[in-house]
Amino acid sequence: MAAAPLVVVTGASHGIGRAVASAFAAQGHPLLLVARHPTPLEGLPSEQIATAAVDVSDHEALETAIRAAEALHGPTECLVNCAGFLRIGTLEDRDPADISYEVDVLLKGVLNGIHAVLGDMKARNSGTIINISSVGDRAPGPDGEVYHACKAALRSLAGSLQKGEAKSGIRVINVAPGFVRTNIHAEMGISFEEYGERLGHPDFISAEELAEIILFCWKQPQRICVRDIVVMPTGSDFG
């Protein structure tokens, strides 16, 4: 039986990225966990899990980490771009440097990861790129303008890239979740309770539930691509 191929997950230290990494690890995949402050997945052999303390906005560092993991486990067959955060506030009151960094992580960081793996995927005529967007990529709300703009760009990127790389057998998947219980509120400087109140006290899905849906998309035959999927609580009318 062939060994499971390498999966690279960015933003893998917490939230959706952590849940995605755990889901793929349970399937026997070797993993590269990329985060600014990575931690290993407990209970798994160290030879299965590599970590890299890398900011995805740093293209050179990210590519170096991916090449090192590939030297151990073979080419990257799946890249899951989870790295991100949400900051809110009146746009004119935000520090331009902070705005620039948000774009660097949410959009350029995804482009950096794709750039690092795409050439080899094309050479092999195989590979899957999964971008974790947001329901805000099509239904933006007030505040968080930079976040919503970057997520809309990710959706456009996935659609354009899929059309361009279909001939190479590469799948590009845009996953647009909403109301996932993570620690995204911490970057906003508020408690989870206040975050829920701002959203109108919706139901939340867990990061683990979302990870199972992402794994389902990945496990389809290579000739099938779930190109764009919105994942929301059934009881929500948002979006």
Q: Is 101 a catalytic residue?
A: no
Question: Quick one: tokens of 172?
Answer: 């590009």
For the chain, how far is it from start to end, CA to CA, in angstroms? Answer: 43
Residue keyed to tokens 């890249």: 79
The candidate with the shortest Cα–Cα distance to 211, out of 239, 235, 177, 170, is: 177
Q: Which of 105, 113, 147, 218 is catalytic?
A: 147
The candidate with the shortest Cα–Cα distance to 102, out of 188, 160, 209, 200, is: 188
82 neighbors 132 (Cβ within 8 angstroms): yes
Q: Is 177 helix (H, G, I), strand (E, B) or coil?
A: strand
Question: Which of the residues are catalytic?
Answer: 147
